[in-house]
Structure 1
Amino acid sequence: MRTSGWTRAAALAGTAVLALTGCAVHIEPRLAAPGPPERTECGTLTIANLPWTGYEANVAVVSHLAENRLNCTVVVKDLTAEEAWAEVAAGTADVILENWGREALRKRYIDEERTVVEHGMTGNKGVVGWYVTPWLVEEYPDITNWKNLNKYAHLFRTPTSGGKGVLLNADPSYETNDPALIRNLKLDFVVSTTGSEEKLIEAFREAERNRRPAIGYFYTPQWFLAEVDLVHIKLPPYTPGCDADPEKVACDYQPYDLDKIANRRFAESGNPAAELIKNFQWTNTDQNQVARYLTIDKMSHNEAAKKWLDANPEVWQTWLPAD
């Protein structure tokens, strides 16, 4: 808007009168915008370690950098996902380095209690679902459509499965929709838990090697898929909200952009490890490579991390705190 000369002159005259009559004009001081928290020493960094090898790859690399670049004392605690969220909320663990969904825990600890915060993305793309061994697809090409699974359920029976096909699961702490999916899609299967990621991988490996049927819950990123290229079963497509009621779910799993979870006080403390972890991002290929070092090459966490870090300085140098 243009101001007339008269208005400007009147304003100037008014200012002069105020000055001559000794009237004071109070001007509120401008408050500076809050800056980042003051940088502190790292001290002890406590990382939750969850039971799958890709997660251990994250822990190996972040721990190595925290210890060797930031002079942190790193403590790693083996926990289930539920335990890890509770400990991060309580401050007895600082971070979860790879989180898959967990909407109920997000609501409780982030939205309601506000003790936990989202702490950046990992860069990994998570895909969960049902998979079968490659030889089965060669033998029965239509087995990848869920509508045909009952036709082949007899292939997956065991002496203890009550005449039903067996759908394999891994660690019992993994959050799956499998019992509900079987029930709601009216599939002639039961869930059988192998007990760990390692045992599930070995079951798939042996099934492919000996041309025995195997179907189970699996996911990527996962280094094993470079060894045995498991084939994803097409369940009814995922749409937002189709899994809102766990008892009524009848669709495939949600694809995830995986993220990190941190204790709020830790995230806002100025600790350089908090900045390192927030900046930490890599690809599925990166994670799978370190996971193979740990599992196939039998390297220690320190050896696996160092080998990957030595080969990829252009990636991890961007994670370090600026100063």
Structure 2
Amino acid sequence: MRVRTIPVTAGVSVLLLLTGCGAADMTKQASPFAGAQGAGTVTLSVQSWVGAQANVGVAQYLLEHELGYRVDTVQVDEVPAWDALSQGRVDAILEDWGHPDQEKRYVRDKKTIVAGGGLGVTGHIGWYVPTYFARQHPDVTDWKNLNKYAGRLRTAESGGKGQLLDGSPSYVTNDKALVGNLKLDYQVVFAGSEAAQITQMKQFAKEQKPFLTYWYSPQWLFKKVPMTEVKLPAYKEGCDADTAKVACAYPHTPLQKYLNTDFAKNGGRAAAFLKKFRWTTEDQNEVSLMIANDKMSAQDAAKKWVDSHPSTWRAWLS
């Protein structure tokens, strides 16, 4: 994803690794507790979008309060996170949106990372317009008609073209290629982060202005700003293999967990717990809403969710 992307979860200690896709590997600055033998510590990679913070918040709370581990969290962008996981500088990634190149390199070839099972949540990236605009102009939901509305979607930042609002430049997206390959009169404009993107969308919605944005589900904002997806050319297996030639929609992706191989073998109850950690889109959105909208800390939101869903999480500890 983006994927993805932004804010940080609360942790025993948090290190911000300000790396972008293609930037130098800064994973050597990650937690010194990762991979500690017999120390009762676990280090989790937390991606910057709020859904990932929700995963880590709940996992951290249960690891600390039910299993007695010390948990350290490290924020690092999507691709560098795989490097950190391979090197044992973090023990687990709890939400991966699909990185086949990294999976081939580390899971199948180097075998330094193992699959940790599905998260239970299916992710989908797409282009969206606010539902109030889609109701006024139903044909805007077909990509073939987007150029018709480019003038309505122009902003000061889009250089005379319609604006396609993206989040962080560190997100892995196909949007620039899509705009070019579909011959759309639009400019991709990066808000800078998920939080900044949300702020812009909420402001547009408050003023009932039209906008076109890259967005994804699951995401709590849909409950506050209803949005309707624009239909891009249908996704077919392999249509996004060449990122320069992409001219199709994003797939629906069952989100996956990955563990460092040594941690998976020697991580004891913590590793077993993380393999069993599996919840629903509704669960994740419930915690995400508390963090992002209600301004609760990740740990306070996790505690509230844990207190009200014992039948769900107790199965992860068995």
| TM tier, smaller | 0.7 to 0.9
1:173-188 aligned at under 5 Å gives the runs: 173-188=170-185
* Structure 1 counterpart of 2:68: 71
Partners of 2:143 and 2:111 lie apart in 1 by 41
Which digits, 9 at most, give the CA deviation of each residue in 1:82-133, with x for residues without a partner?
A: 1211100000100001000111111111122111111010000101110111
The amino acid across from 1:190 in the alignment is: Q
Q: What are the Cα deviations for residues 181-239 of structure 1, in whole angstroms up to 9, with x where unaligned?
A: 01111111111000111111111111111021211110001011111111111000111
Structure with the bigger percentage of helix: 1
Q: Secondary structure at the match of 1:154?
A: coil
The one-letter amino acid of 1:143's match is: V
The residue aligned with 2:169 is: 172
Change in Cα spacing, 1:193 to 1:160, as seen in structure 2 (3 Å) is closer
Residue 111 of structure 2 is aligned to residue 114 of structure 1: yes
Show the counterpart of 1:133: 130
Q: Deviations over 1:252-293 (max 9, x none)?
A: 001100010110110111421111110001111100000111
* Distance (Å, rounded) in 1 between the aligned partners of 2:89 and 2:278: 24
User: In the alignment, which residue of structure 2 is the partner of 1:156?
Assistant: 153
- Three-state SS of the structure 2 residue aligned to 1:249 is coil
Aligned residue number for residue 12 of structure 1: none
Contact 2:128 2:228 in 1 (8 A): yes
- For the pair shown, which has the larger CA radius of gyration, 1 or 2? 1
Report the Cα distance in structure 2 between the residues aligned to 1:237 and 1:180, rounded to whole angstroms.
16
CA distance in 2, matches of 1:74, 1:52: 19
1:42-57 to structure 2, matched below 5 A, reads 43-57=40-54
**1:143/1:127 Cα in 2 relative to 1: closer, same or farther (>3 Å)?**
same
One-letter identity of the residue aligned with 2:262: R
Distance 1:224 1:303 in 2: 20
Which amino acid counterpart does residue 165 of structure 2 have in structure 1? L
Say whether the 8 Å CA contact 1:133–1:207 is kept in structure 2: no
Per the TM alignment, residue 160 of structure 1 is displaced from its structure 2 partner at its CA by 3.8
Pick closer, same or farther for the CA change 1:305–1:42 going to 2, 3 Å: farther
Amino acid at match of 1:98: E
Question: Is residue 42–residue 273 contact of structure 1 (8 Å, CA) maintained in 2?
Answer: no
- What residue in structure 2 maps to residue 97 of structure 1? 94
Check conservation: 1:41, 1:272, Cα contact below 8 A.
Answer: no
- Structure 1 residue 158: deviation in Å? 2.0
State the AA in 1 paired with 2:58. V
Residue 295 of structure 1, CA deviation: 1.6
CA distance, structure 2, for counterparts of residue 293 and residue 302 of structure 1: 10
CA distance 1:293–1:160, shift in 2 (3 Å): closer
Correspondence for 1:281: 278
Aligned partners of 1:211 and 1:301: how far apart in 2?
Answer: 31
Letter in 2 for 1:218: W
Do the aligned residues in 2 keep the contact of 1:181 with 1:251 (CA within 8 Å)? Answer: yes
Structure 1 segments, 4+ long, off by >4 Å, are none
The answer as to 2:257 corresponding to 1:260 is: yes
Residue in 2 that maps onto 1:146: 143
TM-score after normalising by structure 2: 0.86
Aligned-residue offset at 1:248? 0.7
For 2:189, the equivalent position in structure 1 comes to: 192
In percent, how many aligned pairs have the same letter? 44
Task: Give 2:25's aligned residue.
Answer: none
Distance 2:292 2:58 in 1: 15
Q: What is the alpha-carbon distance in structure 2 between the residues aligned to residue 146 and residue 130 of structure 1?
A: 9
Secondary structure in 2 matching 1:273: helix
Match of 1:309 in 2: 306
What is the match of residue 121 of structure 2?
Answer: 124
Instruction: Output the amino acid matched with 1:75.
Output: D
- Give 1:175 shift: 0.4
Q: Structure 1: which 5+ residue stretches go unaligned?
A: 1-39
Q: Is the 8 A contact 1:51 1:171 kept in 2?
A: no
Partner residue of 1:59 out of 56, 63, 70: 56
1-structure distance, mates of 2:70, 2:316: 18
Instruction: Tell me how far 1:159 sits from its aligned partner.
Output: 2.9
Partner-residue secondary structure (3-state), 2:209: coil
Aligned residue pairs, count: 282
Q: For the residues of structure 2 that align with 1:302 and 1:274, how far apart are their CA atoms?
A: 20
For 2:212 and 2:204, locate their aligned partners in 1 and report how far apart those are by CA, in whole Å: 9
What is the Cα deviation at residue 162 of structure 1?
A: 2.5
State whether residues 48 and 77 of structure 1, in contact with CA within 8 Å, keep that contact through their aligned partners in structure 2: yes
**What CA distance in whole angstroms lies between the structure 2 residues aligned with 1:205 and 1:150?**
24
C-alpha separation between the residues in 1 aligned to 2:208 and 2:66?
Answer: 48
